[in-house]
Amino acid sequence: MDCQYLPLSATGQFSSLFLDYLNQKDSLRPFYNRFPTLSGFQEQIQERTFSPEKRQTLVDTLTRQYAHIANKPDFSILLQPNTFTVTTGHQLTIFTGPIYIVYKLITTINLARQLQKNYPDYTFVPVYWMATEDHDFAEINHFRLFGRDYRWETEQRGAVGRMNPQELKTLFAQIPEKLSLFEDAYLKHSTLSDAVRYFINELFGAEGLICLDADDAHLKGLFAPIMRDELLHQRANEQVQQRTDQLGQLGYKTVITPRDINLFYLDDQLRERIEQLPDGTYKVVHTKLRFTKEELLRMLDEHPERFSPNVVLRPLYQETILPNLAYIGGPSEVPYWLQLKSVFDLYETPFPLLMPRNFATYVPKVTARRIHKLGLTPEELFRDTQTLKHEYVDTHTRHALRFDAENKQVNKALDAILHKAQMVDPTLERAVLAETKRFANAVVRLEKKLRRAEERNQETGIRQLLTVKEELFPNGGLQERTENFLTFQLNDRAFLQKMLAAFNPFDFRMQLCLEN
């Protein structure tokens, strides 16, 4: 596989905040701890402490969650004080969802490998944080395979990790391909969380990746002191809002908006925000549930699993229960983490290194041949379709498609006509200028007709060009945000291993992976 690279800034696909972070712009320095370099990890290791009690709780939880999985990882390594994690997270999108989610997992695995190579005195474990408590079902209920969209319809509500995936049986009847791994995952497990853990372990367990479901009473118990403070004092909101305002003053658009209370109430079929009322009591929005302060705090002590952090506190929860060094995120995740550092400072928790995931466009063999034949560079591929077509025609035409030389001569003549007219009668100037403008418009129309005629002459090449563009940029967007990894894996069983071999977690560029 031939890999070619271009800067993310050349793709036109990423926000200025994300790009400026990658360029380590000085004005963003206060919004993170240290930049993700190999030497930065050494410093992060020295800063990161994690108690034996927390390690034991983590291992006990993972052991329970993997109880029914064969070929499970050895979690005992996490009990050692020199073991650290690197983590990525995502919603439980069905069939893994868009391929960039797989790329996040691969980046995390490769990061752990590279750290292990450079720091052999420590152990590094890649972790997939399963966003099981997320309740936005519309974000996870669909995927695309071979150009067709498939969708899971259900009446289930609440945290997606608790949903029963066996309803997906109807989707398997619609999919022409036999997907045995996913049939075993979805049809033989009673929760989406268990199903995802099963197939992720089948895909990447041998690479050392561990799946963690943080929807757990014991893990929530470790986070309970911070949740108690959030309920009583609501300090995170002010911290995040200050950082958000500062980023706004620098000209950046921010991603997340904090709440007064950044916690949900979580129960079967329900995940709704907690709000405090003027009389000091608390309510769960869109329900009839009401609690006094004493009742809510008692529930927190007895059932911490009924409280779920939102996007503001979830990262802090992650760093509370994992001996973590880095979070591997996408172009929308890294920016919202930049809004959160002051919350970590407030609770005296080390802020992890923010690693962008690897970015890639996979080019199958047939498409790679077309690109070579068309003579397209990586930069050209990322241009918009109209610009790309325009440049292609200009490059391959044997004719002049503009009347620049002719226009120069005519304009000279028109200037002479204008001069003569002004000598005879100055009022004729307007008439001459109107005719001059009319002529210029006519030339523009003729040039467009000339270009359309040449496009017809080059119809075969243009058609091949547009085919390549649609294959690599479905519906005009990045391939990795639309296509599912199965689109390539079903045609090449070595696809995942090739991507594992191709990615360098410290290379923050767009990567074109062309099959030979």
What is the structure's pLDDT at 434?
A: 80
Q: Within this chain, do residues 349 and 387 fall inside the same structural domain, yes or no? A: no
Q: Is pLDDT at 450 greater than 60 in this prediction?
A: no
Tokens of 273: 């925000």
Residue 265 lies in a domain: no
Which CATH number do you get for residue 331? 3.40.50
Give pTM, 2 decimals: 0.90
Residue 441 pLDDT level (bands cut at 50, 70, 90): confident
Note whether residue 322 is domain-resident: yes
Q: Which two structure tokens, joined as six digits, stand for 467? A: 């085919």
Q: Is residue 182 part of a domain?
A: yes
75 and 166 part of one domain: yes
For the ranges 336-340, 427-431, 485-489, 498-502, the lowest mean pLDDT is seen at: 427-431
Residues 34-50 have pLDDT tens digits of 999 999 999 999 999 99
End-to-end Cα, the chain, rounded Å: 6
Q: What is the mean pLDDT of residues 135-158?
A: 94
My answer on whether 205 and 349 are in the same domain is: yes
Give residue 177's pLDDT band: very low, low, confident or very high (50, 70, 90).
very high
With cut-offs at 50, 70 and 90, classify the pLDDT of residue 400: low
Model confidence pLDDT, tens digit, residues 211-259:
999 999 999 999 999 999 999 999 999 999 999 999 999 999 999 999 9
Rounded Cα–Cα distance for residues 452 and 193 (Å): 55
**Confidence band (pLDDT; 50, 70, 90) for 416?**
confident
- Lowest mean pLDDT segment, chosen from 187-191, 312-316, 442-446: 442-446
The structural domain count of the chain equals 2
Q: 149 and 49 in one domain?
A: yes
The distance from CA 487 to its chain's CA centroid, rounded to whole angstroms, is: 19
Specify whether 418 is located in the same domain as 340.
no
The whole-number average pLDDT for the span 154-178 is 95
Same domain? 139 vs 214: yes
How far apart CA 342 and CA 323 sit, in angstroms, is 20
Q: Identify whether residues 150 and 77 lie together within a single domain.
A: yes
pLDDT of residue 458: 65
Question: Same domain for 390 and 465?
Answer: yes
How confident is the model at residue 473, as a pLDDT? Answer: 94
Report yes or no on 202 lying in a domain: yes
Query: In terms of domains, do 84 and 158 share one?
Result: yes
Backbone phi and psi for residue 409, each to the nearest 5 degrees, phi listed first: -70, -45
Amino acid in the structure at residue 240:
V
pLDDT band at 390 (very low <50, low <70, confident <90, very high): confident
| Residue 404, pLDDT above cutoff 80 | no
Q: Same domain for 65 and 139?
A: yes
Mean pLDDT for 298-324 is 98
| 3-class state of residue 372 by DSSP | helix
Cα angle value 130/78/223 (rounded, 5°): 55
The strand pair at 509-514 and 2-7 is best described as antiparallel
Average pLDDT value for the chain: 92
Whether residue 393 is found in the same domain as residue 351: no
Q: Using 50, 70 and 90 to split pLDDT, how confident is the model at 201?
A: very high
Domain of 431?
A: 378-491
Are 56 and 174 within one domain?
yes
